[in-house]
Each structure stands twice: as structure tokens, then as C-alpha cells.
Chain A
Amino acid sequence: MNASTVTRQPASGRPVLLRWAPLLLLLAFAFALPLVVRSATYLHILILLLLYAYLTTSWNLVGGFAGVLPLGHAAFVGIGAYTSTVLSLQYGLSPWIGMILGGMISTIVGVLIGLPTFKMRGAYFALATIAFAEGLRVMVENLDRLGPFRLNGPRGLQIPPLEVGFGRLMFAEKEPYYYIILTMLVLAVGITWAVSRSKLGYCLAAGGEEPEAAQSLGINVARLKLIAMAISSFLTSLAGTFWAQFTLYIHPKSVMSLDISFEIAFIALIGGRGSIAGPLLGALLLRPVSDFSRIHFGDTLPGLHLVIFGVVLILVMLYQPRGLQEPLTRLYRRGMQRLFGTGEGG
């Protein structure tokens, strides 16, 4: 976002349609992809790619804009997954409703975590969020039931594929899942775009960079961070329900593990946190590494993808501390300029 919205200048003479054309093309491409990709394996990989792009975009609202590094977003994925699954298994509630309820619970939990932790800075905040997410996972692992709700501890919950259909958020093929997560991603990106061009976005970024200066300019930094956290935890939680309905089996390790939180942060940092394109680029580059290393080295070198992520992260932080979106955005701008010859200098 740094370069893309800040130096926004009127694109004199360039028709609006042309400005949005590359984006629309990309969108059309994404929607047409399942028509070409017929292999279930590849579609599965693409769905996970979109899921992580969505998760990271949601994370980015607080981790990117507010300038803090939350490493416990898996907790919200877990809350979303468990809420909708428990409610649909025990009470036959549609996962769509469970999805929204889970989102609301996550929002409350996110704000409750944020209240004490947003006063901490840097690594302390990150550690506190890890501690919270891990605590929640261990709790769920050790709880067979929570009040009237069956959680099944470490064995997790199986969703029997009895009723397929949109209302049950359950499908026999992978295509519907692809379109649902793609729509969710488009919405999340749209929200991010709107936030980045709003008072909230400006003030969040200011508070993340120089809290004292931001406060002197009338910004209640802690309050805005809580708002960002609320939106972010809500959106993250929706992905949890999606994940549960996609895999039809959840257990604490699969939907609440630290690996998820870390992978989100890796994607954001390598792609470029605080930018709109960063999470998308990051997921596009890192998810395939993750999947193919699991397919080919899952037995011999499990966790290889995290090693690769680490190396890539070090290189990116050394040479492109704002993430890969920056050089790519510049390249894109230059390309557009050459093609259309209009001054949109960045």
C-alpha cells in the first residue's frame, strides 16, 4: 500500500476502465481457473493458497496496519472452526450461521486479548499472543466437553458428509469451495482497500509508526488498534469455519496450532505487511513451496517448508525489508507507465 495509495495522483487522461483493467483481468483469471485446472490435487492446493491469502489479508489489518506482530491468530481460526462445527453437529445449525457466531466470539476474544496486550511493545506483544493461542489449544486438547458442548479433546470432531449443498456449506466437489474462498478473499481485500483509504487506516498506520506523535494529533492509538483487532479476528474466524467444512475433520492441532500463526506471519512479512498486495503475493509464492515440500519431502524431511520460509524471510528482510510487494509494485507501475505513458509516479 505504501507506494500504491500514498502517491496517488490523478491519472490524467487515463480512462478509469484502463486503470482497473489489470485488476479485473486478474479477477476474471482467478474465477476461470477451475475451468482449466481439473485435477483435484491442484485445486486443493489452490484452495489452500486462497485460504492463506485470506488469512494473511485478515491478519494484515492488525499485523500490518497497526504495526504490531500478533502471532496467535490460529486461536481465531480454531474458535471459528469449533463454534460452527459444534453447533452444526449438536444442534443441526447451518455452518453459515455458526460462521457468523464464531466470528462474533472471536471478535470478543480478540478485543479481550488486545485490551491488556496492546500496551506492550514489540516482542512482548508477540509473545503474549503466542501464549494466549497456545493456552487455548492446550485447553481444548484437554477438554472433552465444555458445558453442554462436546469438544472431544485431542481426538477432535468429525463432520459426517451426510447432507451436501450450499446451505450446509458442504460439497462433494472442490470447485464450490474454491469459489467460496475466492469470494471471501475478494471481500477481505476490498475491506483492506477501504480501510487503507480511510481515517481508520491513516490513523492506524500513524499510530503503528510513531505512537507518541499520533496521540498528539488526536489519535487514541490503543482504541484504534482494538477496532483493527476486532475486524481482523472476525474475518480470521470465518476462515476457520471454511476450513472445518472443507476438511470435514478438525482437531486442536489442525486448526489451532502455532504453525498456522507462524505461516501467516511468514507470508505477510515476505510479501510485505501493511500493503494490500503483500499477503496475496506472499501466499502465491510461499504456499506452493509449503505444499510441494509436504508432497515430496513429507516423510523424509517434515517441516522442510518452514526451513525454506526462514531462509527466504532472512533474505527478504536483508534486501527488501518492506517485502516483495515493493519492487514488484514498482515494476508494475513502470510497466503501466510504459504501456500507457501516463504519469503515475511512485
Chain B
Amino acid sequence: MRLLELHRVSKHFGGIRAVEDFSLEVQAGEIVGLIGPNGAGKSTLFNCVAGVFPPTSGEIVFQGKRIEGRKPWELCRLGIARTFQIVKPFASRTVLYNVTVGAFATTSRLAEAERRALAVLRTLHMEEKAHVRAANLTIADRKRLEIARALATRPRLLLLDEVMAGLRPTEVDEMVEVIRRLRDSGITFFVIEHIMRAVMALSDRIAVLHFGHKIAEGLPAEVARDDRVIKAYLGEDYGAA
């Protein structure tokens, strides 16, 4: 079943063509990676899907419904959640408070929201940090908090924008494990990631963005072998890694 479809999506900022004619399908239960060099237009594409701004042209279809131009909070209620590349915790509040705000997307009762928030925190092994102020978290925990908060809204599709950046290798492995487990529980993932090891291990399919154009799409192994991808992005470095 196709959960998310992008048909020839373009986003221009004045004369800058940040994303051009991008098409992609994400099946329910998949983990699809989106990679590309800095400035390739990945976050712009995410922002179009998440409703931060509408695409200049093209269609975005979620569960059979056109969603381009809808507001972020409407999309959240439809089942699309996201994390931010530059984390945006409610810093003066505790971890539990942060996640409870997310849980309020699907319930109106405080006790129920807190119960769900705690359950999410347990899945992400953060329950012992529940009463820590978000401002006092390490970067790894802040990234995890972004995911926890998004998860608490009970999404069908989760957009992850570089949640591995800044994590230590063991933490990356943990995060990969967590995302796989969440996928098994029925959540679909669309993931921007710079850490190649993680995105290769995690993704069922990968799309490659370069200067706003999709230059490749396929299985991780195929993409890694693709000449244009290697030239545009991976360079010699990937062979070494």
C-alpha cells in the first residue's frame, strides 16, 4: 500500500530552485532514506511534506488524499510527525512535559497523555530522564526527545531529519535498532541522514538528491554502486568507510 506519494514536487525560493520535479513513493511499513550533499534540498523537501510551506508545484498524496499546502498541525492530526534537524525542545520543561505535549495530539486528558508519554519514553529507554529539564539533556538525548515527542502523537509516517548527527557510534547503533523496532510496530519512516553507515543499514530504499534533482533511487547497495551518486556525493570517502 502506498502511504506517501510525491508527484513532480518543486519548490522555488525566488530564483533558487531548491527542489525540482521530485517524485517518490513510500510504501506503508517501509524505511526510505533520503541522502544528498549539504544544500541538496533535503530539508526543503521535508518541509514541503510536513506543511511548513507549500510546494511551488506538484502533488503530495498521503493515504490517497492530497495534502500539499495543509498546515503542520493538520498534517500531524492526519498522521504525519516529524523531527527537526536543529532540535527544538521545550527547553524550560521536563522531558515528560515535552512528550506529554505530543501525546495531547490524540487525547485531551492529562493523566492519559502522561501515561502514553511515559510508555513512549520507555520504548526509547528514556524513562529515567522523565523529570530532567530538556535544557539539561545531552545532544543525543535531545535527538531522542525529538523522536519521543513525535512518536507520542501516534503517527503513521515519521519524518526524521538527521536524528543521528552528533551521536557516538554506539548510540547510532542503538538508534538504528530503535527505528527498526518502531517500523516493526507499524510506523513508516522517511529519513534524511548523513551518517552513511546508519542510512545504509537502516533503509529499504534510498533516494539521492543533488542540487534539487533526484539522481538515483534504489536499494542501498544499488545506490552505493551508482556512478552518478558516487561522483556527486559519496566521492572516494565511501569506499574507505
Q: Are A217 and B97 in contact (CB under 8 A)?
A: no
> What count of chain B residues pass the 8 Å CB interface test?
34
Cβ of A205 < 8 Å from any Cβ of B? Answer: yes
Given contact pairs A6-B97, A197-B110, A199-B108, A216 touches B76 in the complex (Cβ within 8 A): yes
* A95 CA / B205 CA spacing, docked (Å): 70
Q: Which of B86-94, B121-129, B207-215, B226-234 contacts A (4 or more CB under 8 A)?
A: B86-94
Contact check, A218 vs B105: say whether CB atoms are below 8 A apart: yes
- Report if B150 contacts A (CB, 8 A): yes
Confirm or deny: B188 has a beta carbon within 8 angstroms of a beta carbon on chain A: no
Is B58 an interface residue when CB atoms closer than 8 A count as contact? no
Given known A-B contacts A199-B108, A202-B104, A214-B101, A220 and B88 have beta carbons under 8 A apart:
no
Q: Does A342 contact B (CB under 8 A)?
A: no
Give chain A nearest CB distance to B64 CB in angstroms: 21
Which residue from chain A places its CB closest to the CB of B154 in the assembled complex? Answer: A218
| A-contact 0/1 string along B33-60, CB 8 Å cutoff | 0000000000000000010100000000
- Over the window 70-84 of chain B, the binary record of Cβ atoms lying under 8 Å from chain A Cβ atoms (1 yes, 0 no) is 011100110001101
What are the residues of chain B within 8 A of A198 when measuring CB–CB?
Answer: 110
Chain B min CB distance to A105 (Å): 30
Mask: chain A, 314-344; 1 = CB below 8 Å from B; 0 = not = 0000000010000000000000000000000
B100 at the interface (CB under 8 A from A): yes
In the complex the two chains form, is B108's CB within 8 Å of A217's CB? no
- Chain A positions within 8 Å of B76 at CB level: 215-218
- Shortest CB–CB separation between residue B187 and chain A, in angstroms? 16
What are the interface flags for A1-17 relative to B under an 8 Å C-beta threshold, 1 for contact and 0 otherwise?
01000110100000000
Contact check, A209 vs B81: say whether CB atoms are below 8 A apart: no
Shortest beta-carbon distance, B110 to chain A, in Å?
Answer: 6
Interface residues of A in 1-40 (CB under 8 A from B): 2, 6-7, 9
Given the known A-B contacts A6-B97, A7-B131, A198-B110, are A206 and B105 also in contact in the complex, defined by CB atoms under 8 Å?
no
Residue of B nearest to A223 (CB): B73
Whether B90 and A215, one on each chain, are in contact in the complex, defined by CB atoms closer than 8 angstroms, is: no
User: With the chains together, A28 CA to B76 CA distance in Å?
Assistant: 47
Q: How far is the CA of A202 from the CA of B114 in the complex (A)?
A: 11
A-B contact count (CB 8 A): 89
The answer to whether B88 and A210 have CB atoms under 8 Å apart is yes
Knowing A215-B73, A216-B76, A218-B77 are in contact, say whether A199-B104 is a contact too (CB < 8 A): yes
Name the distance in Å between A211's Cβ and chain B's nearest Cβ: 9
CB-based contact B93/A205 at 8 Å: yes
A143 proximity list for chain B (CB < 8 A): none
Q: Report Cα–Cα, A212/B93, bound state, in Å.
A: 16
B29 within 8 A of A: no
For B113, the chain A residues whose CB sits under 8 A away are 199, 202
- A residues near B94, Cβ cutoff 8 Å: 6-7
Q: How many residues of A contact B (CB 8 A)?
A: 25
Cβ of A213 within 8 Å of any chain B Cβ, yes or no, is yes
Q: Are B97 and A215 in contact (CB under 8 A)?
A: no
Bound: A199/B108 CA distance, A: 6
For the complex, what is the distance from the CA of A217 to the CA of B153, rounded to whole Å? 7
Report yes or no: B104 in contact with A203, Cβ–Cβ below 8 A.
yes
Contact A217 B149 (CB under 8 A): yes
Inter-chain contact A220/B71, CB cutoff 8 Å: yes
Chain A interface (Cβ within 8 Å of chain B)? Answer: 2, 6-7, 9, 197-199, 202-203, 205-206, 209-210, 212-221, 322, 345
Interface of B toward A, CB cutoff 8 Å: 50, 52, 71-73, 76-77, 81-82, 84, 88-94, 96-98, 100-102, 104-105, 108-110, 113, 131, 149-150, 152-153
Given A6-B93, A206-B90, 15 further pairs, Cβ under 8 A: A6-B94, A199-B108, A202-B104, A206-B98, A212-B72, A213-B84, A213-B88, A213-B90, A213-B149, A215-B73, A216-B76, A217-B152, A218-B77, A219-B101, A345-B131
